[in-house]
Amino acid sequence: MTKLAPKVRPDISDWSAADLKTWREKHGFDQVQAAAAIGIGRQTWLKMESGKKAVDLVCYLACMGYDAGVGK
Protein backbone atom coordinates (compact mmCIF):
# COMPACT_ATOMS: atom_id res chain seq x y z
CA MET A 1 0.00 0.00 0.00
CA THR A 2 1.30 3.43 -0.92
CA LYS A 3 1.65 5.89 1.92
CA LEU A 4 0.33 9.33 1.08
CA ALA A 5 2.24 12.43 2.01
CA PRO A 6 0.69 14.47 4.81
CA LYS A 7 -1.44 17.38 3.73
CA VAL A 8 0.62 20.52 3.54
CA ARG A 9 -0.91 23.90 4.18
CA PRO A 10 1.06 26.44 2.16
CA ASP A 11 -0.46 29.27 4.21
CA ILE A 12 0.98 27.98 7.50
CA SER A 13 4.61 28.54 8.48
CA ASP A 14 6.93 26.22 10.39
CA TRP A 15 7.01 28.67 13.28
CA SER A 16 5.49 27.69 16.60
CA ALA A 17 3.88 29.95 19.19
CA ALA A 18 7.18 29.83 21.09
CA ASP A 19 9.08 31.04 18.02
CA LEU A 20 6.71 33.98 17.71
CA LYS A 21 7.17 34.87 21.38
CA THR A 22 10.95 34.61 21.02
CA TRP A 23 10.86 37.00 18.06
CA ARG A 24 8.74 39.47 20.03
CA GLU A 25 11.00 39.34 23.08
CA LYS A 26 14.13 39.69 20.91
CA HIS A 27 12.80 43.07 19.79
CA GLY A 28 11.65 44.13 23.27
CA PHE A 29 8.02 44.40 22.14
CA ASP A 30 4.89 43.75 24.11
CA GLN A 31 2.20 41.89 22.19
CA VAL A 32 0.47 45.06 20.99
CA GLN A 33 3.73 46.55 19.73
CA ALA A 34 4.70 43.33 17.96
CA ALA A 35 1.35 43.12 16.18
CA ALA A 36 1.61 46.77 15.10
CA ALA A 37 5.21 46.31 13.91
CA ILE A 38 4.16 43.71 11.35
CA GLY A 39 0.73 45.12 10.56
CA ILE A 40 -1.63 42.59 12.12
CA GLY A 41 -4.32 42.92 14.76
CA ARG A 42 -3.67 42.43 18.46
CA GLN A 43 -6.17 39.58 18.72
CA THR A 44 -4.54 37.75 15.83
CA TRP A 45 -1.15 38.06 17.51
CA LEU A 46 -2.55 36.87 20.84
CA LYS A 47 -4.16 33.81 19.25
CA MET A 48 -0.96 32.86 17.43
CA GLU A 49 1.32 33.42 20.42
CA SER A 50 -0.99 31.40 22.69
CA GLY A 51 -1.13 28.54 20.19
CA LYS A 52 -4.87 28.89 19.54
CA LYS A 53 -4.12 29.75 15.91
CA ALA A 54 -1.27 28.51 13.75
CA VAL A 55 1.40 31.06 12.86
CA ASP A 56 0.51 31.85 9.27
CA LEU A 57 2.98 32.38 6.49
CA VAL A 58 2.14 36.08 6.11
CA CYS A 59 2.99 36.71 9.77
CA TYR A 60 6.23 34.76 9.50
CA LEU A 61 7.26 36.64 6.36
CA ALA A 62 6.35 39.97 7.95
CA CYS A 63 8.61 39.15 10.91
CA MET A 64 11.45 38.22 8.55
CA GLY A 65 10.87 41.42 6.58
CA TYR A 66 10.97 43.45 9.77
CA ASP A 67 14.28 41.84 10.71
CA ALA A 68 15.67 42.60 7.25
CA GLY A 69 14.62 46.24 7.48
CA VAL A 70 12.07 46.06 4.68
CA GLY A 71 9.98 49.22 4.54
CA LYS A 72 12.28 51.30 6.73
pTM of the model: 0.82
Q: Is the pLDDT of residue 5 over 60?
A: no
CATH number, domain 17-68: 1.10.260
Percent of the chain residues topping a pLDDT of 70? 83
pLDDT tens digits for 32-57?
Answer: 999 999 999 999 999 999 999 999 99
Predicted pLDDT at 1? 60
How many Cβ atoms sit within 10 Å of the Cβ of residue 34? 23
Contacts of 56 (CB under 8 A, 6+ apart): 11, 12, 13, 48
pLDDT of 18 above 80: yes
